[in-house]
């Protein structure tokens, strides 16, 4: 007479369902999927992009808030300026000047009513866009 192993899972059709081996396989597959997903390592898009325009100086100021612990490795790597829906400048950077908030100034000839958009992109993950209508 055979003694049945009580650790074995029962299923009405005689097959195991969510047995120890199946659970272990699910845990292993989940771990593999998590390992393969792009790890941002705490990376995040800029928190804030605020624009101001000085018509007398014809200068656009872009205040960016992007808190990082090492601005040489994780930084705002590009700032793209669009006016009336067209890209008029794109500046690339190799680091950011501060760990949290900083300001870049750009020469810009704009008239009242011009729609300005600035997209600040993170070197690791994400971007944020600020908008301004000149004269408002």
How buried is 120 (Cβ within 10 angstroms: 0-12 exposed, 13-18 middle, 19+ buried)?
buried
How buried is 77 (Cβ within 10 angstroms: 0-12 exposed, 13-18 middle, 19+ buried)?
middle
Tens-place pLDDT, residues 101-125: 999 999 999 999 999 999 999 999 8
33 in any annotated domain = no
How many domains does the chain fold into? 1
Closest alpha carbon to 132 in 86, 87, 90, 83 = 83
Give the whole-angstrom CA distance, residue 51 versus residue 103: 10
97 in any annotated domain = yes
Q: Note if the pTM is more than 0.85.
A: no
Give the CA count within 13 Å in the CB-facing half-sphere of 10.
Answer: 5
123 in any annotated domain = yes
Question: Which token pair is 54?
Answer: 């000085």
Asked if residue 44 has pLDDT above 60, the reply is yes
122 in any annotated domain = yes
**Mean pLDDT, residues 4-14:** 53
Give the whole-angstrom CA distance, residue 17 versus residue 10: 7
67 in any annotated domain = yes
**Mean pLDDT, residues 27-39:** 60
113 in any annotated domain = yes
How much is the pLDDT for 54?
96
């Amino acid at each position: 007479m055979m003694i049945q192993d009580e650790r074995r899972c029962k299923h009405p059709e005689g097959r195991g369902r969510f047995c120890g081996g199946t659970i272990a396989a699910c845990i292993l597959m989940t771990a593999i999927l998590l390992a393969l997903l792009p790890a941002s390592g705490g990376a995040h898009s800029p928190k804030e992009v605020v624009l101001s325009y000085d018509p007398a100086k014809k200068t656009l100021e872009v205040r960016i808030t992007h808190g990082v612990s090492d601005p040489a490795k994780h930084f705002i790597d590009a700032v793209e300026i669009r006016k009336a829906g067209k890209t008029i400048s794109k500046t690339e950077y190799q680091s950011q000047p501060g760990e949290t908030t900083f300001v870049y100034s750009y020469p810009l000839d704009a008239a009242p009513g011009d729609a300005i958009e600035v997209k600040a992109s993170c070197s690791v993950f994400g971007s944020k866009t600020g908008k301004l209508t000149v004269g408002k």
